[in-house]
Amino acid sequence: DLGPSGKPTHPLATAPVGAPPHSVDGFVKEFLHELNTNQGVPLSLSSVNDQYMALASTVRNYLMARWLETNRKVHENKPKTIGYLSAEYLLGRQLGNALLATDLSDIAEKGLALCGIDIATLRAQEVEPGLGNGGLGRLAACFIDSLATMDVPCVGYGIRYEYGIFRQTFVDGRQVEQPDTWLSLGSPWEFPHPEASVQVDFGGHTERYIGEDGRERVRWVPAWNVLGVPYNYMVPGYLNGRVNTLRLWSAQATKAFDLQIFNSGDYAQAVRAQTFAENISKVLYPEDSTPQGKELRLQQQYFFVACSLRDFIDHSLEDGFDLHNLPERVTFQLNDTHPVIAVPELMRILIDEYDFEWDEAWDVTRRCFAYTCHTLLPEALEVWPTDLLGRLLPRHLELIYQINDHFLAEVREAFPGDELRAHHMSIISHGQGVRMAFLATVAGTKVNGVAELHSQLLRDKVLPDFSALWPEKFTNVTNGVTPRRFVRLSNPKLSELINDTIGNGWVTDLERLKELEPYADDPEFRAQFAEIKAWNKHRIADLLRARDGIDLPDGHLVDVMVKRLHEYKRQSLKLLHIVSLYEQVLSGKIAASEVTPRTVVFGSKAAPGYAMAKETIHLINKVAATINADPILEGRLKIAFPANYNVTLAEKLIPAADLSEQISLAGMEASGTGNMKFALNGALTIGTDDGANVEIRKLVGDKHFFLFGMSEPEVAELGAQGYNPHSYYDANPQLKATLDLISSGVFSNGDRHLFDMVVENLKNQDRFMALADFDSYVAAQAKVEERYADQDSWMRSAILNMARTGYFSSDRSMRDYLQRIWHTTPML
């Protein structure tokens, strides 16, 4: 019996797989079954890991029927799909989200309790997949969650790094990196499909030959290749029956490759070759702002992009699609420039493999891609040296030159005689290499920034010539965060209060939090809200005590700065504020009793090669050790710096915050997304007019946001005048006393030079103008203290922050992408 695809069918083969029964008894049966058949142990002999694995596969089984059904519908209806191309996905733990998506949390908790198991212990067993650095990777994870929840067909494509972002430890206050062995106990969430592996070629040279039709053609003769093995992950929508797919590629040596060497008799060399191939997906590069121009990184980028395009195109062809219509089938969204090598790759496939003419191929390619930029820092823009690119991907370099020739012809036509402009806009910059952001801009149907201010600066400052040529290409989509993970799961008590007050529709329609606004004036509601904040503080205090031996005193203002460590984010400015408070108490300018009881929590990883960032971590830890131990402060000022800040810790920390620190130099933070998570969990923001802070402040209102610092135009002007940080040091006695205290040795056992790198940099370079904003920041912090003293008024503002920031749901971001960029509506 043959089905339409020529494959044998059986009536039962296409029948929907029934989900297991939704009852406590049914769940226990399934759980014990998984424990016995998957882990091979009885309950009495099972380890915590056995139990976690069995629980995960039990929950997974509930999702499986929906996954099969989603894939069946996609196969049948062939809807337009979003191919999200991202080198990073910072997913966080999966179990809680899967339980939420299947509505199994209560059943599982009760069922496990019947087996004598505390579900919290099993949750804690999960190692989060840290396959990203920070904001960009977490954004990708929020976006695929929203698309699944909104019933939009999407495949997320990326790399299955064997080692994700490093595990941070502190040794004598200094960051020491440990490998992240997230796979060592096995992952129950992945489905390897070695049979669907894809070959990826590298190196070699190109040849010209005459095809059967008499046209000149190009053949790439690669020197070596590897296999990409797909690992599928479920991306469940929230209670909607949809499960999309995240497909991460793992590199393996190809058979032909090692057979050749094995046959030559050099066994050791053959094994080394295998290692060489597998290195490609071995480790995530831990730089979050200064890309490493390393060959292995380019290999990673081409590797996952080549696998993903091959995969998508093969499936489209199987479905009977004509590649001329590919743009109706898919938009590939480029998450920053990391996957931009996909542009010449698609050109190569269409021209060299499917005989497209240049113009036809370019027309299809252009309409298939859209590009999101996540930065403004010049050093973050990827440029690949032409010799490196040509060595690794000779055919792609040729195609990039050709794309550039066609593009520059277009520029010359639009601006006749303006050779200087053509020179500025060239994708190939002489002396540097291939500017990937330019290539993405030329190829993309749309180019977007990630917050209003960022999109405007992208048009005006980073790509002004491009926006002059193609104004309609540029658009904004302000970032968002998923309310499932960052409110519903991370803040269960607050979720319950919201549910009791306005129902549970907000989880998929976050603007409905607006309905909470009137309750800001309800003393009863305020009291409940305050109680929940206190409960969240106790929860994180318990965790930090157990995890790090950190003491978080009761009744403190919890002031949180969590994000990657970078000079532009200005952790050093936060530190100057703390040291300034300490200095004032030490010198008797203020009494300890005048200091608002406050714990400042830092969470931050530094790129391993970023010396200034690592020194700043060292300094924070040393200041923390001194201040935390000094009785002069009467316990009113504490610094907590738990190591290894990650998504799991964020979920516990953010709901406990009173104050959210978003203090980047204006014009530097593209958007920020932590800022949104804090506001949604009822923290007030102290922040500059930067990134999405601008939009947060507009929505919550000036009275409920502590604005400080120069605006972006003021920053630009000060820069143009010539910024001299030393003049601020000289003119401001408190700033001078603060920096001098760091140099006095009180934080470094009398060593006056230990922190020279940080202090001298601030005094003499201060690229991100921390000293210029110091006064304004300290003044804003004084306002914070004043407001915090009036708890009623503070809680009112906190509630309004939550009620007015529903706009920052990633569901809304996805609607904006659908309307402005993908031009498709949600369909099954």
Q: Which residues are catalytic?
A: 374, 563-564, 569, 673, 677
- 17 DSSP assignment: P
Give the C-alpha separation, 198 to 311, whole Å. Answer: 8
- Residue 587, judged by CB atoms within 10 A of its CB (0-12, 13-18, 19+), counts as exposed
Taking CB under 6 A as the binding criterion, the range among 99-107, 112-120, 288-296, 404-412 that sits at the site for ligand F55 is 288-296
Would you give the binding string for ligand F55 spanning residues 444-463, x where CB under 6 A is met? Answer: ------x-------------
Nearest distance, CB of residue 192 and ligand F55, angstroms: 26
Measured torsion, CA atoms of residues 482, 483, 488, 493, in degrees rounded to the nearest 10: 130
Taking CB under 6 A as the binding criterion, the range among 111-119, 131-139, 628-636, 793-801 that sits at the site for ligand F55 is 131-139
- Taking the least distance from each CB to ligand F55, the nearer of 164 and 672 is 672
Nearest distance, CB of residue 633 and ligand F55, angstroms: 34
- Taking the least distance from each CB to ligand F55, the nearer of 233 and 568 is 568
- Select the residue interacting with ligand F55 from 53, 85, 139, 818 (CB under 6 A): 139
Question: Quick check: 287 binds ligand F55 (CB under 6 A)?
Answer: yes
Question: Quick check: 691 binds ligand F55 (CB under 6 A)?
Answer: yes
Name the nearest CA neighbour of 763 among 746, 788, 738, 795: 738
Taking CB under 6 A as the binding criterion, the range among 127-135, 217-225, 415-423, 491-499 that sits at the site for ligand F55 is 127-135
Question: Quick check: 125 binds ligand F55 (CB under 6 A)?
Answer: no
- Taking the least distance from each CB to ligand F55, the nearer of 21 and 609 is 609
- Select the residue interacting with ligand F55 from 55, 99, 136, 443 (CB under 6 A): 136
Question: Quick check: 479 binds ligand F55 (CB under 6 A)?
Answer: yes
Question: Quick check: 339 binds ligand F55 (CB under 6 A)?
Answer: no
- Taking the least distance from each CB to ligand F55, the nearer of 337 and 584 is 337
Residues 498/767, Cβ–Cβ less than 8 Å:
no
Question: Quick check: 96 binds ligand F55 (CB under 6 A)?
Answer: no
Question: Quick check: 669 binds ligand F55 (CB under 6 A)?
Answer: yes
Question: Quick check: 712 binds ligand F55 (CB under 6 A)?
Answer: no
- Residue 827, judged by CB atoms within 10 A of its CB (0-12, 13-18, 19+), counts as exposed
- Taking the least distance from each CB to ligand F55, the nearer of 254 and 688 is 688
668 contacts: CB under 8 Å, gap ≥ 6: 376, 377, 568, 569, 690, 768
- 554 DSSP assignment: T
Count interface residues toward ligand F55 (CB under 6 A): 20
Number of C-beta neighbours around residue 625 at 10 A: 15
Question: Quick check: 672 binds ligand F55 (CB under 6 A)?
Answer: yes
CA separation, residue 662 to residues 77, 437, 692, 719, 785 (Å): 45, 27, 10, 21, 17
Question: Quick check: 380 binds ligand F55 (CB under 6 A)?
Answer: yes
- Name which of residues 179 to 218 contact ligand F55 (CB under 6 A): none
Give the C-alpha separation, 639 to 42, whole Å. Answer: 46
Question: Quick check: 134 binds ligand F55 (CB under 6 A)?
Answer: yes
Two tokens, residue 760: 């001298």
- Taking the least distance from each CB to ligand F55, the nearer of 616 and 671 is 671
Question: Quick check: 288 binds ligand F55 (CB under 6 A)?
Answer: yes
Taking CB under 6 A as the binding criterion, the range among 6-14, 213-221, 283-291, 347-355 that sits at the site for ligand F55 is 283-291
Nearest distance, CB of residue 286 and ligand F55, angstroms: 9
Q: 3-class SS at 644?
A: coil
Nearest distance, CB of residue 289 and ligand F55, angstroms: 5
Two tokens, residue 92: 């966080």
Amino acid at 50: D
Nearest distance, CB of residue 491 and ligand F55, angstroms: 21
Label the pairing between strands 383-384 and 433-435. antiparallel
Nearest distance, CB of residue 380 and ligand F55, angstroms: 5
Question: Quick check: 511 binds ligand F55 (CB under 6 A)?
Answer: no
- Taking the least distance from each CB to ligand F55, the nearer of 467 and 664 is 664
- Taking the least distance from each CB to ligand F55, the nearer of 287 and 816 is 287
Residues 680/479, Cβ–Cβ less than 8 Å:
no
Helix or strand (DSSP H, E) at 670: none
- Taking the least distance from each CB to ligand F55, the nearer of 66 and 446 is 446
Residues 815/152, Cβ–Cβ less than 8 Å:
no
Owner of token pair 């949750």:
123
Q: 3-class SS at 546?
A: helix
Buried b (16+ CB within 10 A) or exposed e, 203-216: ebebeeeeeeeeee
Q: Which residue is nearest to ligand F55 (CB)?
A: 135
257 contacts: CB under 8 Å, gap ≥ 6: 224, 225, 226, 273, 277
Q: Given 3-state DSSP classes, what are the helix, strand and coil percentages for the chain, each rounded to the nearest 5?
A: 55, 15, 30
Nearest distance, CB of residue 675 and ligand F55, angstroms: 8
Nearest distance, CB of residue 330 and ligand F55, angstroms: 22
- Select the residue interacting with ligand F55 from 671, 688, 748, 797 (CB under 6 A): 671
Question: Quick check: 135 binds ligand F55 (CB under 6 A)?
Answer: yes
Name the nearest CA neighbour of 235 among 128, 154, 134: 154
Question: Quick check: 175 binds ligand F55 (CB under 6 A)?
Answer: no
Residues 708/779, Cβ–Cβ less than 8 Å:
yes
Residues 110/306, Cβ–Cβ less than 8 Å:
no
Would you give the binding string for ligand F55 spanning residues 400-439, x where CB under 6 A is met? Answer: ----------------------------------------
- Taking the least distance from each CB to ligand F55, the nearer of 571 and 673 is 673
CA separation, residue 359 to residues 44, 175, 214, 362 (Å): 68, 52, 19, 5
Nearest distance, CB of residue 255 and ligand F55, angstroms: 33
Taking CB under 6 A as the binding criterion, the range among 208-216, 427-435, 670-678, 700-708 that sits at the site for ligand F55 is 670-678
Give the C-alpha separation, 638 to 578, whole Å. Answer: 9
- Taking the least distance from each CB to ligand F55, the nearer of 234 and 439 is 439
Taking CB under 6 A as the binding criterion, the range among 149-157, 285-293, 529-537, 752-760 that sits at the site for ligand F55 is 285-293
- Taking the least distance from each CB to ligand F55, the nearer of 50 and 811 is 811
- Select the residue interacting with ligand F55 from 408, 443, 670, 784 (CB under 6 A): 670
- Taking the least distance from each CB to ligand F55, the nearer of 285 and 708 is 285
Measured torsion, CA atoms of residues 754, 757, 762, 764, in degrees rounded to the nearest 10: 120
Residues 316/335, Cβ–Cβ less than 8 Å:
no
Residues 686/664, Cβ–Cβ less than 8 Å:
no
Amino acid at 591: A
Nearest distance, CB of residue 228 and ligand F55, angstroms: 21
- Residue 429, judged by CB atoms within 10 A of its CB (0-12, 13-18, 19+), counts as middle
Nearest distance, CB of residue 327 and ligand F55, angstroms: 25
Question: Quick check: 291 binds ligand F55 (CB under 6 A)?
Answer: yes
- Select the residue interacting with ligand F55 from 81, 97, 133, 743 (CB under 6 A): 133
Taking CB under 6 A as the binding criterion, the range among 162-170, 231-239, 665-673, 785-793 that sits at the site for ligand F55 is 665-673
Q: What are phi and psi of 790, to 5 degrees?
A: -100, 90
Nearest distance, CB of residue 292 and ligand F55, angstroms: 7
- Residue 65, judged by CB atoms within 10 A of its CB (0-12, 13-18, 19+), counts as middle
Give the C-alpha separation, 340 to 590, whole Å. Answer: 56
Q: If you count them, how many residues does the chain have?
A: 828
Nearest distance, CB of residue 305 and ligand F55, angstroms: 15
Two tokens, residue 289: 């702002």
Question: Quick check: 374 binds ligand F55 (CB under 6 A)?
Answer: yes
Residues 180/163, Cβ–Cβ less than 8 Å:
yes
**Which residues sit at the interface with ligand F55, rule CB under 6 A?**
133-136, 139, 287-289, 291, 374-375, 380, 450, 479, 669-673, 691
